[in-house]
């Protein structure tokens, strides 16, 4: 049991929310809707959560600084979402589940998948 999982158990947490910011991602990967859907499938399998319905990936943003794909995937224990910013080649991901998962593993998996050079992780225990 790692420190985060121990904290989760000791605090009788209801859930955990991870915010993963990825910088200097591979531009081809964050601009490919099918690859983003594949990421969601692989991530959900990796952290052992069950997807509920289809993953939605939509490109939008009239202003260049926010344009890019956004994604949502319901999971049986809550939600995976994210936005991919074309101008900066950044990704902003959120994973929330009432079932424990390791946010550090989500961050490293996501960094590797999108070829990011830098990752920033924050997590919150929900009570």
What's the pLDDT tens digit per position in 22-40? 999 999 999 999 999 999 9
| pLDDT tens, position by position, 79-120 | 999 999 999 999 999 999 999 999 999 999 999 999 999 999
pLDDT at residue 25 in the model: 98
Cβ atoms of 82 and 113 within 8 Å: the answer is: no
- CA proximity to 93, closest of 120, 65, 75: 120
For 15, the token pair is 């859930």
pLDDT at residue 65 in the model: 78
pLDDT at residue 103 in the model: 98
pLDDT at residue 1 in the model: 79
d(CA 20, CA 9): 22
**Over pLDDT 90: what percentage of the chain?**
92
Domains located in the chain, CATH noted: 14-126 (3.60.90.10)
pTM of the model: 0.94
């Amino acid at each position: 049991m790692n420190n985060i999982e121990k904290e989760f158990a000791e605090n009788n947490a209801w859930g955990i929310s991870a915010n993963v910011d990825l910088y200097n991602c591979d531009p081809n990967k964050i601009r490919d809707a099918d690859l983003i859907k594949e990421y969601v499938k692989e991530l959900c399998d990796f952290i052992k959560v069950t997807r509920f319905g289809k993953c939605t990936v939509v490109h939008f943003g009239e202003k260049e600084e926010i344009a890019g794909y956004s994604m949502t995937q319901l999971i049986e224990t809550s939600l995976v979402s994210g936005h991919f910013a074309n101008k900066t080649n950044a990704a902003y991901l959120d994973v929330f589940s009432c079932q424990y998962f390791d946010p550090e593993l989500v961050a490293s998996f996501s960094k590797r998948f999108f070829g990011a050079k830098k990752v920033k992780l924050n997590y919150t225990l929900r009570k």
